[in-house]
Structure 1
């Protein structure tokens, strides 16, 4: 059950979408919502005698802190009529980058809701780094919300991008509070692996049985890629449902920053109009 939600603010216009979804989820699960405003303080310049603060740095720190407090106070005013318990947390990041600080704070939440990275601009890169750090270091699931998305919440139709792996099974179980409320759940399996590393004698049978014991009636859909990208097949099926949420685990390379930049995950982050629930 989701009782503690975190929206790490990226300072981009897409934050508004993440906040709106966070409010909706908080209302659905009677949860507490925290907005995280991070003040990124640059390190003082190094010299042969170590890091020596100067008057210019002190002035910069003061301006950054004042701006962070002003941003947080404006958020508090904006959230006064949200209809859910809300707090705006202001934290400083000096010896670590702001994305890693967000991941640390997310360890104390059930779910992070973050704006989606839609392009390769500086804002897109910043959002992408934030998502990668949350997945790598928070140990908690991340709901990525594409800009201007208007899918119903809680989602009625959910696609699970399934394969028998630790990342995917963790995503599925983290998403159970949403799955049990859904009207339709499709478990989509692309090129199911054969043998003992597969998914039982019938692809998807074991996971469908497991979901049924949790009260989730799932439809198993097996697709052969035949040379097509896995992401294209997933998005094609999601569009046909139509899906309101995709649940996915880790795909691709072992290093998370490389994994999050390439393959299936990149397509789900950059080319997908639907929210994606990720775990790693």
Structure 2
């Protein structure tokens, strides 16, 4: 059961949905919520002899620091009275980019909640950088909330995308508190291993979930040339699911984002939150 939740502010369209979802989950699990306001400070100008001192850059930093503090104060006021323990911290990103700065705090959280990409443009790329940095660098599960999406509720339906491997196994275990409260859990398997060995593997997954008080239905699908992500998203819409659980980045992040992959397509296509583990 998560006792500490963490949300980095990404300055992208999904931030408010991510914070709202984190508030709902913090209330549901009686968890502490920490929100990170990141002040992205510009670097001094570089020249062939190193960094050029710039008197004006100090004024710029002061203005951005003041804006960061103002943003944090406004957020504290907006979140007061929600019945949740909330801390809003302000940190600076000067010699490291904001996604990397966001990783360190996630090490001390049970779950990171972050805005999902809204599109393929610049804002989508920024949100993706936060997701990838947290997923690959924090060692913690990451709940990705698309713009406008709501938090999964107790008693809702959950889709678990399963394939044998470390990422999916971690996602399954990280999602157990949410799976136990679900009214329906569908484990979607695309093109499982043929024969008795593949069948036994599915039986073992269902039995393992049952030992954790999760009743799950195994849904076996044949790809027939379709992308795995398309099959998962189609089934999620048919359920309809409030949450998709999956392993993240079974291949390299660069390969998946440039050439396509299940993680990339789920991030861009899911209308509901994604719980990803690596």
The alignment's TM-score, normalised by the length of structure 1, stands at 0.93
Seen in structure 2, the aligned counterparts of structure 1 residues 110 and 183 have a Cα distance that, compared at 3 Å, is same
- State the alpha-carbon separation in 1 of the partners of residues 155 and 264 from structure 2: 22
- State the alpha-carbon separation in 1 of the partners of residues 143 and 256 from structure 2: 17
- State the alpha-carbon separation in 2 of the partners of residues 16 and 111 from structure 1: 17
Q: Which runs of 5+ in 1 are unaligned?
A: none
1:203, CA displacement in angstroms? 4.4
Seen in structure 2, the aligned counterparts of structure 1 residues 226 and 191 have a Cα distance that, compared at 3 Å, is same
- State the alpha-carbon separation in 1 of the partners of residues 257 and 161 from structure 2: 16
Larger displacement relative to structure 2 (24-33 or 113-122) = 113-122
> 2:205 matched to which residue of 1?
207
Alignment of 1:98-137 (within 5 A): 98-137=98-137
Alignment of 1:225-236 (within 5 A): 225-236=223-234
3-state SS of the aligned residue for 1:204? helix
- State the alpha-carbon separation in 2 of the partners of residues 238 and 131 from structure 1: 21
Larger displacement relative to structure 2 (143-152 or 52-61) = 143-152
> 2:18 matched to which residue of 1?
18
- State the alpha-carbon separation in 1 of the partners of residues 35 and 197 from structure 2: 40
> 1:259 matched to which residue of 2?
256
1:151, CA displacement in angstroms? 5.7
RMSD, matched Cα? 1.8
Does 1:246 pair with 2:244? yes
Q: Is the CA contact 2:42–2:94 (under 8 Å) kept in the aligned structure 1?
A: yes
1:76, CA displacement in angstroms? 0.8
Seen in structure 2, the aligned counterparts of structure 1 residues 179 and 101 have a Cα distance that, compared at 3 Å, is same
The partner residue of 2:275 within 266, 274, 277 is 277
Aligned length: 277
Q: Is the CA contact 1:231–1:264 (under 8 Å) kept in the aligned structure 2?
A: yes
Q: Which runs of 5+ in 2 are unaligned?
A: none
Q: Is the CA contact 2:21–2:151 (under 8 Å) kept in the aligned structure 1?
A: no
1:244, CA displacement in angstroms? 0.8
- State the alpha-carbon separation in 1 of the partners of residues 152 and 262 from structure 2: 24
Deviations 1:133-177 (A, max 9, x none): 111101111111112224652361111000010001001101111
Does 1:76 pair with 2:73? no
Seen in structure 2, the aligned counterparts of structure 1 residues 120 and 155 have a Cα distance that, compared at 3 Å, is farther
1:252, CA displacement in angstroms? 5.1
> 1:156 matched to which residue of 2?
156
Q: Is the CA contact 2:150–2:273 (under 8 Å) kept in the aligned structure 1?
A: no
- State the alpha-carbon separation in 2 of the partners of residues 194 and 62 from structure 1: 63
The alignment's TM-score, normalised by the length of structure 2, stands at 0.94
Alignment of 1:168-187 (within 5 A): 168-187=168-187
Q: Is the CA contact 1:116–1:146 (under 8 Å) kept in the aligned structure 2?
A: yes
Does 1:237 pair with 2:247? no
Does 1:95 pair with 2:125? no
